[in-house]
Structure 1
């Protein structure tokens, strides 16, 4: 099942117990599903909308999140943020 049902799910418990079945849930897919999604995105040129920010902008970004003033996902540019300045 993908997604959440619109009403409570009723399950026959005796066949589950006798058949040693397991029911599990997850908010995200596993490795296989993630790989399929990444391949689909690459094949169809689907890219995320992001705003790359330096690490010293994180507090401002948090303020913007609190104000709902964020259009895209923030991505912190750690590599360029932590370069030594000589």
Structure 2
């Protein structure tokens, strides 16, 4: 079970990490931009987590998925 989870996480992360390695190799200034983008994504994830956690037991699953989708767009694009 744990090995399956680790494998799925690696499958999700490897394309992004390989693109990161490529862009850092081509220009060193891209490192700052890539770190800012990744940091912004992480802040957006951490900002919406308490909201989704609070709603997880109060609304039905379909409404929860809609709120999760809209909050992802709201937090990540602003």
Same fold (TM over 0.5): no
Greater strand share, structure number: 1
Which structure's CA Rg is the greater one?
1
Give the alignment's TM-score, normalised by structure 1: 0.28
Give the alignment's TM-score, normalised by structure 2: 0.30
